[in-house]
Amino acid sequence: MAVVDMPGSKSLTARALFLAACASGDSRLRRPLLSDDTEAFTEALASLGHTVRTEGEDWIVTGSAAARPVQEAEVYCRDAGTVARFLPVLAAARKGTYRFDASEQMRRRPMGPLFEALRELGADVVCEGAEGHLPATINARGLKGGRIVLDAGVSSQFLTALLMAGPLFPDGLEVEVSELVSVPYVEMTLAVMREFGAQVRREGKVFHVAPGHYTAREYDIEPDASTSSYFFAAAAVTGNTVVVNGLGSRSLQGDVRFARVLGDMGADVEFTDEDIRVTGTGNLHGLEVNMRDISDTMPTLAAVAPFADAPVRIVDVYNTRVKECDRLAASADNLTHLGIDTRTGQDWIEVRPGTPDPAVIACHADHRIAMSFTVTSLRLPEPLLLDDPACARKTFPDFYETLADLVTRWNQGPVAAKSSFGI
């Protein structure tokens, strides 16, 4: 048995930063995630006139009353979908000229439905290159709010962004979604908004946000459930036990359900209010699973699927093609390269049982591909090599050290990971 200390949730850190920046006073965030994405978020907030300072392990966020009004800003989003999708709405609610740009990777990812929604609400959004992509300049005159229809079928982040800004609009906001993916992230948004004092409700496809204000507060960030998936999968395929404290049945993160998928495959999985415990039984079963709601964990499952006793088929995960890379293609290409019989369609992947051959993993600068195939490596006599291990910094700079420490502790116990691993 081994307890691992997981870093804070990326999604909760981003939401808490946004809402704290909109609240009137100073907020204290406890155990925020320290990673490339959240550093990008704090820097972007700084460009918009907010201060986030460190106090011990906490972050103190200056709210809107103390923020320096900035009427012109260049905001660089790096690789972060949360920054690129959330902060343009905050900027559009103000008065000024705000230019948003991002890494090549983030420039390729879709922004169109969000820009359309901002235009419908009254902002002028000008894309410099391809329509619906960064870089883009927002000429903002403040937004009154009102009713819009939004296609959130490629990313729920568009909806989250609009909802979080909703209380700042004098008329509030009503959003009808024509399509919606990654629903648990939206439920998380509603929960955190309420914790910061917003009035928001959902009636089927329509979300209603009342005009109002956010209240500064102290906010505890849960450990990251998507990051935990690598440690749960590692326990499952090596026949060891791992416990993640602070993440349990009451978690706001949908990705905790990944542990239940491992349970459906034969791992011994226990949820309490306080923690999640996964024990590998040495034999994982194949299955078909719909991961539309928890698609950040699709690469984790695909990477350990060769060790199941029957095919693993993951369906309804189209939007993983527009993440840091095309994750269906990247997972399938790497598995094929390892000699594993793998097929994909537009929104699914099927992986047959097999023993991976040695190979170099093409990470495509995607932290989840790097971390997922590191878990595959735990079952092999020789470690797989990653072409870009450093990309894990997007959400977990200490990933390799934390996993190595866990494996060392396992190796001292009765059952051991079958190999060490290297990068």
Ligand X SMILES: O=C(O)C1=C[C@@H](OP(=O)(O)O)[C@@H](O)[C@H](O)C1
Ligand Y SMILES: C=C(OP(=O)(O)O)C(=O)O
Q: Which residues bind ligand Y (CB under 6 A)?
A: 80-82, 296, 323, 368, 395
Per DSSP bridges, beta strands 287-290 and 200-203 are unpaired
**Among ligand Y, ligand X, none, what binds residue 115 when CB lies within 5 to 8 Å by partner kind?**
none
CB of 82 to ligand Y, least distance (A): 4
Is 328 in a helix, a strand, or coil? helix
Q: Tell me, rounded to whole angstroms, the distance of Cα 395 from its chain centroid.
A: 8
Q: Is 319 annotated as a binding residue?
A: yes
Nearer to ligand X, 82 or 342 (CB): 82
Task: Return the closest-CA partner of residue 22 out of 58, 55, 85, 66.
Answer: 66
Residue 240 touches ligand X, criterion: CB under 6 A = no
**Among ligand X, ligand Y, none, what binds residue 105 when CB lies within 5 to 8 Å by partner kind?**
none
In sequence order, what are the beta bridge partners of 75? 100
CB of 321 to ligand X, least distance (A): 11
Quote the longest CA-to-CA distance of the chain: 65
Residue 344 touches ligand X, criterion: CB under 6 A = no
**What's the sign of the alpha-carbon dihedral 304, 372, 381, 6?**
negative
What's the CA gap between 230 and 267, in Å, rounded? Answer: 14
**What's the sign of the alpha-carbon dihedral 223, 361, 359, 398?**
negative
**Among ligand Y, ligand X, none, what binds residue 395 when CB lies within 5 to 8 Å by partner kind?**
ligand Y
Per DSSP bridges, beta strands 360-361 and 268-271 are unpaired
Active site residue 36: no
> In the structure encoding, which two tokens stand for residue 75, read together?
């905001």
Nearer to ligand Y, 228 or 395 (CB): 395
**Among ligand X, ligand Y, none, what binds residue 228 when CB lies within 5 to 8 Å by partner kind?**
none
Residue 62 touches ligand X, criterion: CB under 6 A = no
Choice among 36, 58, 255, 296 that is catalytic: 296
Is 261 in a helix, a strand, or coil? helix
DSSP string, 69-122: P-SEEEEE-TT-HHHHHHHHHHHHTSEEEEEEE--HHHHHS--HHHHHHHHHHT
Q: What is the 8-class DSSP label of residue 55?
A: E
Residue 103 touches ligand X, criterion: CB under 6 A = no
Is 58 in a helix, a strand, or coil? strand
Q: Which of 41, 100, 185, 396 binds ligand X (CB under 6 A)?
A: 185
Q: Is 412 annotated as a binding residue?
A: no
Site string for ligand X, 77-96 (x = CB under 6 A): ----xx--------------
Nearer to ligand X, 27 or 157 (CB): 157
What's the CA gap between 255 and 140, in Å, rounded? Answer: 35
Q: Is 377 annotated as a binding residue?
A: no
CB of 303 to ligand X, least distance (A): 17
Part of the chain binding ligand X (CB under 6 A), chosen from 68-76, 151-159, 272-280, 301-309 = 151-159
Annotated binding residues for phosphoenolpyruvate, as ranges? 10, 81, 109, 157, 327, 368, 394
Q: Interface with ligand X by CB under 6 A: which residues?
A: 11, 14, 81-82, 155-157, 160, 181-182, 185, 296, 319
What residues are labeled active site?
Answer: 296
